[in-house]
Amino acid sequence: MKILHTKEEVKSALLAHRKENNSIGLVPTMGALHDGHISLVKHARSHADITITSIFVNPIQFNNPSDLEHYPRTLEKDLELLENKGVDYVFLPEIEEMYQEETLLKFDFGYLENTLEGEFRPSHFNGVGIVVSKLFHIVQPDYAYFGQKDLQQVAIIKRLVKDLSFDVKVEVVPTIREKDGLAMSSRNVRLGEEERKAALLLFNSLNLAKDELLKGISWLEVKEKVLSKFDQEPLAKLEYFELVETDSLKKLNSFNPRELDDTKKYSVCMASFIGEVRLIDNLPIY
């Protein structure tokens, strides 16, 4: 495994592989790697000839300075893990390499960014769009791998690829969970023992919603049950709990399992603070 620090090093390293018509798979990360990231790496290695993982904590996608400050950084462990999993290259740029000066460009993803996460994290998806665009330009991958846990991010990146005609195929990998159902996240390490127990409320709520919706119970009734559960958990502060069309992220006020559109997919999405740690999760319904 070779570590690359600059754009020129990336282009030079990958040029030889392109001349041999090797396909290139990119796994963008912010480090603090866990089994969810490794799942992306495994998919990349099974699809592409060459796998490159980026590790870069992107400052412009954090609207909360405290969140950026406390974002876990485990570089030595990350690099060892990636080498053991057979990654060919790691792109490890400094901030100055990615942002020589303040970025003036602003992305507007319309409805896709103004709902769910966008309501609580202004400018977040602008930062995501900019850094992913930079990575696509620098690496020029054939495939790029993202986790389903970040459902809204996936929708926005797919739109980015479509609107800007990036020649890359976005591959979405299912959410990887702990044995008790908690979605794997780099932020989970910040949870204390009691907070870790309380965090199970997210996955339990998603499962409750899925089961009851498919039984024909109204979305309004399901949502009220979930809100009641969060009201009873002092460590949890629910930000949103919404039923959406998976691809468009359009919020739904009703769900009838007998009248489903087979051309569409549906998911329940949520975000909650557990103590001071903000977690997101989602679950496909149909």
pLDDT tens-digit map of 88-107: 999 999 999 999 999 999 99
37 is catalytic: yes
Residue-range definition of the domain harbouring residue 213: 186-284
* Beta strand segments in the chain, E: 2-4, 24-29, 50-55, 89-91, 143-147, 169-173, 236-245, 266-274, 277-284
Residue 149 labelled as part of a binding site: yes
- pLDDT value at residue 261: 83
Percent of all residues in the chain with a pLDDT value above 90, rounded to a whole number: 96
My answer on whether 240 and 276 are in the same domain is yes
Residue 181: inside a domain: no
- pLDDT value at residue 63: 87
Residue 216 labelled as part of a binding site: no
Stretches in the chain below the pLDDT threshold 70: none
Buried b (16+ CB within 10 A) or exposed e, 252-280: eeebeeeeeeeeeebbbbbbbebbebbbb
- Alpha carbon distance 234, 49 (integer Å): 49
pTM of the model: 0.95
- pLDDT value at residue 188: 96
My answer on whether 200 and 161 are in the same domain is no
CA neighbor of 236 nearest in space, from 274, 281, 202: 274
- pLDDT value at residue 258: 87
- Alpha carbon distance 74, 269 (integer Å): 28
My answer on whether 9 and 113 are in the same domain is yes
Q: What is the CATH number of the domain that holds 277?
A: 3.30.1300.10
Burial grade of 230 (CB within 10 A; 0-12, 13-18, 19 or more): middle
pLDDT, one tens digit per residue, over 123-143 is: 999 999 999 999 999 999 999
CA neighbor of 270 nearest in space, from 120, 159, 170: 120
- pLDDT value at residue 148: 97
CA neighbor of 165 nearest in space, from 139, 137, 146, 123: 137
My answer on whether 88 and 165 are in the same domain is yes
- Alpha carbon distance 178, 36 (integer Å): 10
Our measurement of the distance from residue 94's CA atom to the centroid of its chain's CA atoms, rounded to an integer in Å, reads 22
CA neighbor of 247 nearest in space, from 190, 184, 172: 172
Domain boundary among 133, 149, 173: 173
Are 118 and 152 in contact, with CB atoms under 8 Å apart? yes
Domain boundary among 126, 147, 173: 173
Mean of per-residue pLDDT scores for the chain: 96
Residue 33 labelled as part of a binding site: yes
- Alpha carbon distance 24, 193 (integer Å): 41
Residue 153 labelled as part of a binding site: yes
Catalytic residue, candidates 37, 43, 47, 70: 37
My answer on whether 245 and 119 are in the same domain is no
Q: What is the CATH number of the domain that holds 103?
A: 3.40.50.620
Residue 37 labelled as part of a binding site: yes
Are 144 and 169 in contact, with CB atoms under 8 Å apart? yes
